[in-house]
Amino acid sequence: MKKLNPQQQRAVNTTEGALLILAGAGSGKTQVITTRIVPLLKDKRVPAENSLAVTFTNKAAREMNERVSGMAGQLAKGIVISTFHSLGVRILRRDIRALGFKPNFSIYSSSDQAGVIRQAVRERDIDPKAIDPDQILWNWLPPQFIPAIRSCSKASTPSILTTSSCSRCSCCNRQPPS
């Protein structure tokens, strides 16, 4: 274990209650956070699966994982150290059935999303000039498509309903909302 300075040591040994650590870049905050997990697991017997550490980048999460595994070994098995994004996905994959979706969903980037809208527009012979994918993504629709455009939860691509019934949507016979 790296030798910590007194302030870091104090933070690491403060295992009860909330702790806010404010310090400059490269001054050893991550070192404190990762080291502090060890007495929580070893001395306080906090189960690893009840422990969570989140950070912003994959690189930081990887480093924290490596540091904690290096210090706590098997005791750290089951701990979740991840980015905010991957924690969100983890929770969604576990619980999204509660919202009626399957957990094997994909996540589309903004450009993937615009591509899907363009594809859906092409497949339905809609004049692409009449539609700006970004405006659809931001919930702005040209008046002629309101309220006939809705995504279908069962479709692999968004279904654009241009007629009074869902005749072009191959996945279901849902009526467009009136």
Ligand X SMILES: Nc1ncnc2c1ncn2[C@@H]1O[C@H](COP(=O)(O)OP(=O)(O)O)[C@@H](O)[C@H]1O
CB of 133 to Mg ion, least distance (A): 37
Contact 152, 171 (CB under 8 A): yes
Among 18, 20, 22, 25, binds ligand X (CB under 6 A): 25
Report how many residues bind ligand X under the rule CB under 6 A. 13
Residue 138 phi/psi, 5° resolution?
Answer: -95, 20
Is residue 100 near ligand X by the rule CB under 6 A?
A: no
Residue 82, contacted partner among ligand X, Mg ion, none, CB below 5-8 A by kind: none
| Side-chain-facing half-sphere of 176: CA atoms under 13 Å | 19
Is residue 62 near ligand X by the rule CB under 6 A?
A: no
Is residue 27 near Mg ion by the rule CB under 5 A?
A: no
- Cα dihedral across residues 97, 99, 101, 107: positive or negative: negative
Is residue 2 near ligand X by the rule CB under 6 A?
A: yes
55 vs 159 by CB, closer to ligand X: 55
Among 30, 151, 157, 162, binds ligand X (CB under 6 A): 30
Contact 7, 32 (CB under 8 A): no
CB of 29 to Mg ion, least distance (A): 5
Residues in Cβ contact with 36 at an 8 Å cutoff, skipping those fewer than 6 apart = 11, 12, 14, 15, 19
Contact 34, 64 (CB under 8 A): yes
34 vs 159 by CB, closer to ligand X: 34
Counted residue by residue, the chain has a size of 178
Task: Give the helix/strand (H/E) hosting 139.
Answer: none
Among 28, 92, 96, 168, binds ligand X (CB under 6 A): 28
Among 14, 27, 30, 157, binds Mg ion (CB under 5 A): 30
Interface positions with Mg ion (CB under 5 A):
30
